Amino acid sequence: MTSSAIVSRYASALADVVTGPSGMDAPQALQQLRGFEALLAGSVDLQNALASPAVAAARKRAVVRKLADQLGLAKVARNFLLVLTDHRRMGALAEIIDAFEIQLDERLGFVRAELHSAVSLDDRQKAALAGELSRLTGKRVRARFTVKPELIGGAVARIGSTVYDGSVRGQLDALGHKLAAE
């Protein structure tokens, strides 16, 4: 586990380059880095080689370059991976990519929302919920939906530290607290 300040610093630097005038397409950068992350996650030998102090830095760079070429990574993504290799931060790649994605969303005017519903929602219902959250926040919403049957009915949305609870479970809990207070 890498310090959140370090992760944030690398993610911010990458977001600066990608969203800058000479950067690349942000979704493409994210997709390419996720591809490399999946490759890395799928090979324990590769993880060990990139993390091992016994492997020369030049050899690690050569491996990363070769893999980046095979994956067809853009120069920005490849160079970022080389920086991580040079600074021995490749073990934090997944965390850095997650933080990078959050920073991109903020810079592009998106807000992330976690939406939990008692049952699976169809596309129209998902769009309606995301639209209402966009109206409430004044920003475009990037929503992630999950099903939680324990809600009994309705939905719960979390944006940052704000929770909008429209679930039957939430209403029952509120009623229980009100009755206990009387």
Structure confidence by residue, pLDDT tens digits, 47-83: 999 999 999 999 999 999 999 999 999 999 999 999 9
Average of pLDDT values for 125-139? 92
Q: What is the DSSP letter of 147?
A: E
Q: In the chain, pLDDT over 90 holds for what percent of residues?
A: 71
Mean of pLDDT over the chain: 91
Higher pLDDT, 67 or 1: 67
DSSP secondary structure, 85-123, as one string:
HHTT-GGGHHHHHHHHHHHHHHHTTEEEEEEEESSPPPH
What is the pLDDT confidence band of residue 172, given thresholds at 50, 70 and 90? confident
What pTM does this model have?
A: 0.75
Residue 44: count of CB within 10 angstroms of its CB: 9
pLDDT band at 1; cut points 50, 70, 90: low
Identity of the highest mean pLDDT range in 20-24, 32-36, 104-108, 164-168: 32-36
Could you tell me the residue ranges of all domains in the chain? 4-106, 110-181
Cα 150 to Cα 169: distance, rounded to the nearest angstrom: 7
Query: Which phi and psi angles does 94 have, rounded to 5°?
Result: -60, -45
Find the largest Cα–Cα distance for the chain: 71
The fold adopted by the segment(s) 4-106 is Peroxidase; domain 1 (1.10.520)
Is residue 137 a contact partner of residue 111, using CB atoms and an 8 Å limit? yes
Q: Answer for the pair 89, 2: CB distance below 8 angstroms, yes or no.
A: yes
Residue 182 pLDDT greater than 90, yes or no: no
Neighbours of 120 (CB within 10 A): 10
Tens digits of residue pLDDT in 3-19: 889 999 999 999 999 98
Measure the CA angle with vertex 14, ends 9 and 17; round to 5°.
Answer: 130
Nearest of 6, 14, 22 to residue 107 by alpha carbon: 14
